[in-house]
Amino acid sequence: MIQPQSITFFIDRCLGNRRIVEMLRSAGVTIKIHDKHFDKGAQDVDWLPQVGKMGKVVLTKDGKISNNLLERIAVARAQVKMFIFAS
C-alpha cells in the first residue's frame, strides 16, 4: 500500500500570528513559520526560492507576490507551491 505524502505548510510572515498557527497545529497540520527560518526583513525574492527548494507549500495573504514580476519569476523558477488568500 502506498502511503500518502505528508505536506508541510510554510506560513508567511503576514499569516504568522498565533491564532492561525494554533488552529493549524491543533488540526494536525505540519507547519513551518517564516520568522523561525528567515529574518523579519527578508525579501520575498530571497526566501520564496529557498522554501520552494524545501518542498513546502506556502500559505500567504500577500497578493503583491502575484503582481510583482521579480517575485513571480522567483516563484516560477523555484516551482513554489502556494496558496494566496484573498481578504
Task: Quick: pLDDT tens for 6-55.
Answer: 889 999 998 867 888 899 999 999 999 999 999 988 999 999 999 999 99
Per-residue confidence (pLDDT) for residue 2, from 0 to 100: 64
The count of other CB atoms within 10 Å of the CB of residue 28 is: 6
Return phi, psi of residue 71, to 5°: -70, -40
Angle of helix 69-77 versus helix 44-54 axis, rounded to 10: 20
Q: Which of 44, 45, 33 is nearest to 8 (CA)?
A: 33
pTM for the predicted model, two decimal places: 0.86
- Checking if the pLDDT of 3 tops 80, the result is no
Going by pLDDT thresholds of 50, 70 and 90, the confidence category of residue 86 is confident
pLDDT of res. 4: 62
